[in-house]
Amino acid sequence: MTSSTKAPFEYAPAPESRSIVDIAPSYGLFIDGEFVDGTGEAFKSVNPATEEVLTEVSAGSEADVDRAVAAARRAFTRVWGPMRPADRSKYLFRIARLLQERSREFAVLESLDNGKPIRESRDVDVPLAAAHFFYHAGWADKLDHAGLGPGPRPLGVAAQVIPWNFPLLMLAWKVAPALATGNTVVLKPAETTPLTALLFAEVCRQADLPPGVVNIVTGAGDTGRAVVEHDDVDKVAFTGSTDVGKQIARAVAGTRKKLTLELGGKAANIVFDDAPIDQAVEGIVQGIFFNQGHVCCAGSRLLVQESIHDEVIASLQRRIGTLRVGDPLDKNTDIGAINSAEQLARIRELSDYGEAEGATRWQPACDLPERGFWFPPTVFTGVSPAHRIARDEVFGPVLSVLTFRTPDEAVAKANNSTYGLSAGIWSEKGSRILKIANQLRAGVVWANTFNKFDPTSPFGGYKQSGYGREGGRHGLAAYLKGNDA
Amino acid sequence: MTHLLDPDALPDDARALMAPLPPYDDVTRSDSAFRAFLHGLPGVDQVGAEARVGVLGTRSIKTTSKAWAIDTAISMVDLTTLEGADTPGKVRSLAAKARRPDPGDPGCPSVAAVCVYGDLAGVAREALGDSGIHVAAVATAFPSGRASRAVKIADVEDAVANGADEIDMVIDRGAFLTGRYLDVFEEIVAVKEACGDAHLKVILETGELVTLDNVRRASWIAMLAGGDFIKTSTGKVNPAATLPVSLVMLEAVRDFRAATGRQIGFKPAGGIRTTKDAIKHLVLINETVGADWLDPDWFRFGASSLLNDLLLQRQKLRTGHYSGPDYVTVD
């Protein structure tokens, strides 16, 4: 009855069919309700899991951005701004329903372009994106009751630049509140993940959204700069790296533009000795390996109480051994591909630093595909707060484990970061959770869970993680001015 | 010798007979020590446990892995009839089905055991002959467990004498819920002794324990007391074997083996009716405790209607089309 010889339960490949998506050989920009050719140099979008070129996409030049902003301004002044709020909400409901109807298409396309597992694009990204439109559709005609005073007014044209980690979801976070509050938008998706934004443009047409209300200008950093720095923009919203966020803050300083920044993070996930250990281990995994760790609020610093360190790490390593790394379109995949060669290089560089500085690297045995960009789930133990892997955002599947002895030490170490986007607390003791949560300088604090998102809940950071909130009632304020303004 | 810091502790010689495996041989020394141990086990966060089984429920098991899973599941079924109306005839027909679940296909594996009330264990034993299929009997005033210990022990001895080689006992939920953990423990120890060579499955009746914290504590009591299997439910109480309950019990057997070296089996029972449910359980085992438990020696399904659905799905995989209820046998 010894059991080491048991046949393992192998899961046969269960790939989601990609036939549902129809990727054109090339794409233009979406300006004033039409797809038009960009005047900048076209660039390729690749599938990071295979390095296959998916399509060619126009890069927006300054002239293109100018046209897009002009279209957005026209739509704001003539159609969207004056429109009855209840009618705006009808368009948003329509978009939300279309996202649901075409959810499989969006999920497959997102996984192809981004490399994230289909389980996540199908069960998290796309449903949450639809939820954001539903939620904000409900707000459109109730803004008087948002606590911003009577008759809050839209700002005008919003310039929005979004990252590659949640391409469609970040679009929804930006576009839904802007539209619900009566603004029009010019959105620049990330260079490596433009495809779901372009499919969203198609949804806007399907929903009969008036031309110019949503404009999508693809491109790299130069296009983004042109969008953000355009004179006729009233609002800038950016999600991305802290470096770029600083450049944007400088560019916007002294202008009339309102600014929200959602930047990097180095979240502490604090596990106390009275935590529900099995669920805490799940939460650690969800915190750092969700979306390959390409999450600004990822729980990349595990702070575990010394008395349970060995037990938690053993449990964690066993659990990580069951993670399935591979084909993002396989329905059983837990961890997909790293989004780009550039990002992979950065993850490697920081991991090598971790080892050089004396931390211990642990990775499970796992076969990585030969082509594409891959990095195995990684845990560093013996990390000191002085190590770079405890301070710099890796933005990859790399967890740094630190320990603490008392609650005060946990709080001090958690707050000892230039970032302050999110944090997690694991304890069965309610009073402790409430006390620690109040002491953490982080915009979002999760208790006995991690990486849970909901459109009703405001999201945003402290310190170098940015400012302004997205989602919930607070998120509306970023796109409105009071009558006294 | 009295225990230095625990004056309530039983004397060593009284404890020696039923001491759990090291390193836990001291935890049952007194009511308060046992309570402190059980309440010191890590808590279970219900929301987190549900989220975990929710994700595992999305695993897509197709083609060759589905075929393997169905055959494995059939070989793990404890084919059960526990009705007041059970007769020797009914048990014989169940035994025939246990040997050859699909009369049209000799390649179909037989089930692991037939599970009946103790008075019919002899009929089952005779009908199963030397097939290697086990005879499981429920005992200890199943399903309520409300009888004196003497009656419960007699029930067990009778079932074993009738030919049962596996005993499915119920714990005293009343004692558990009033916090008399040591009583629950001692009763299991006594039943185990009465079992002799028969394997003991300990039914927690998780639908009456309600919280996952209770499920974890009851699992530990049963394992420490020498149970060979821990089992979710009698099938007479709803809810029965839910996936979060199974997750917590699997974590318990996993942790127990890591600490003591002794492997305990797990049997979810009640409410598992479809192939889909069964496959979800196999996935749960695979990703919680690993392949070591994917064997009828260590995992069973307590079920009656599950087998026919497994057979229908098996036929579908072989022939490419669905048949119907007339293509599998009624019990």
Among A18, A206, A182, A183, smallest CA distance to A96 is for A206
Give the per-residue pLDDT at A261.
97
- B-chain CB neighbours of A121 within 8 Å are none
Where are chain B's structural domains?
A: 47-318
Interface of A with B (CB under 8 A): 1, 3-4, 6-12, 14, 119, 123, 274-279, 282-283, 322, 331-332, 428, 448-449
What is the C-alpha separation between A71 and A137, in angstroms, rounded?
23
* Percent with pLDDT over 90 in chain B: 92
> For residue B16, is pLDDT > 80?
no
Give me the residue from A331, A428, A448 closest to B60, CB to CB. A331
Residue B17 confidence class, pLDDT cut points 50, 70, 90: low
Biggest alpha carbon–alpha carbon distance for chain B: 71
**Separation in Å, CA of A320 to nearest CA in chain B:** 10
Q: What are phi and psi of B80, to 5 degrees?
A: -120, 135
**Closest-approach residue (CA) in chain A for B212:** A276
> For residue A25, is pLDDT > 70?
yes
**Separation in Å, CA of A365 to nearest CA in chain B:** 16
> For residue A194, is pLDDT > 90?
yes
> For residue A2, is pLDDT > 50?
no
CB contact under 8 A, A332 and B298: no
- B-chain CB neighbours of A283 within 8 Å are 48
Give the per-residue pLDDT at B11.
67
> For residue A1, is pLDDT > 60?
no
CB contact under 8 A, B65 and A283: no
CB contact under 8 A, B44 and A12: no
Give me the residue from A1, A7, A282 closest to B291, CB to CB. A7
**Closest-approach residue (CA) in chain B for A426:** B45
Span A56-85, pLDDT tens digits = 999 999 999 999 999 999 999 999 999 999
Please report, for residues B118, B142, B204, B270, the alpha-carbon distance to residue B237 in angstroms, rounded to integers and kept in the order given. 20, 12, 11, 8
The answer to whether the beta carbons of residues B65 and A9 sit under 8 Å apart is yes
Span B133-171, pLDDT tens digits = 999 999 999 999 999 999 999 999 999 999 999 999 999
> For residue A343, is pLDDT > 80?
yes
Residue B14 confidence class, pLDDT cut points 50, 70, 90: low
* Domain A26-263+465-481 identical in fold to domain A268-454: no
The answer to whether the beta carbons of residues A466 and A261 sit under 8 Å apart is yes
Give the per-residue pLDDT at A432.
98
> For residue A485, is pLDDT > 50?
no
Give the per-residue pLDDT at B13.
65
CA A54 to chain centre: 22
What is the C-alpha separation between A288 and A264, in angstroms, rounded?
14
CB contact under 8 A, A279 and B45: yes
CB contact under 8 A, B48 and A276: yes
Give me the residue from A9, A283, A428 closest to B43, CB to CB. A428
Interval B262-266 mean pLDDT: 98
| CATH number for the domain formed by residue range(s) A26-263+465-481 | 3.40.605.10
Whole-model pTM? Answer: 0.95
Q: What are phi and psi of B261, to 5 degrees?
A: 85, -5
Q: To probe the interface with B, which of A1, A2, A9, A120 has the most B CB atoms within 10 Å?
A: A9
Give me the residue from A277, A282, A448 closest to B42, CB to CB. A277
Class of domain A268-454: alpha beta
Give the per-residue pLDDT at B18.
73
Q: To probe the interface with B, which of A2, A3, A123 has the most B CB atoms within 10 Å?
A: A3
**Separation in Å, CA of B58 to nearest CA in chain A:** 8
> For residue B1, is pLDDT > 50?
no
CB contact under 8 A, A11 and B65: yes
Catalytic positions of A, please? 262, 296
Give the per-residue pLDDT at B323.
87
Confirm or reject contact between B3 and chain A (CB < 8 A): no
Radius of gyration of chain B (CA): 20
Element (H, E) at A31: strand A29-31
Catalytic positions of B, please? 168, 231, 267
> For residue A3, is pLDDT > 50?
no
**Closest-approach residue (CA) in chain B for A429:** B43
Q: To probe the interface with A, which of B41, B44, B45, B212 has the most A CB atoms within 10 Å?
A: B45
How many residues comprise chain A?
A: 485
Span A126-171, pLDDT tens digits = 999 999 999 999 999 999 999 999 999 999 999 999 999 999 999 9
**Separation in Å, CA of B141 to nearest CA in chain A:** 31
- A-chain CB neighbours of B55 within 8 Å are 119
CATH architecture assignment, domain B47-318:
Alpha-Beta Barrel (3.20)
- B-chain CB neighbours of A315 within 8 Å are none
Span B89-113, pLDDT tens digits = 999 999 999 999 999 899 999 999 9
- A-chain CB neighbours of B287 within 8 Å are 322
**Closest-approach residue (CA) in chain A for B63:** A12
Where are chain A's structural domains?
A: 26-263+465-481, 268-454
> For residue A373, is pLDDT > 50?
yes
CB contact under 8 A, A11 and B61: yes
**Separation in Å, CA of A418 to nearest CA in chain B:** 30
Confirm or reject contact between B129 and chain A (CB < 8 A): no
Among A1-10, A114-123, B283-292, B315-324, the minimum mean pLDDT is found in A1-10
How many cross-chain Cβ pairs, A to B, lie less than 8 Å apart? Answer: 83
What is the C-alpha separation between B241 and A352, in angstroms, rounded?
47
CB contact under 8 A, A8 and B291: yes
* Percent with pLDDT over 70 in chain A: 98
**Sign of the CA dihedral A375, A379, A382, A387?**
positive
Give me the residue from B61, B251, B291 closest to A278, CB to CB. B251
Give the per-residue pLDDT at B8.
72
Residues 6+ apart with CB under 8 A from B77: B111, B112, B300, B301, B303, B306, B307, B310
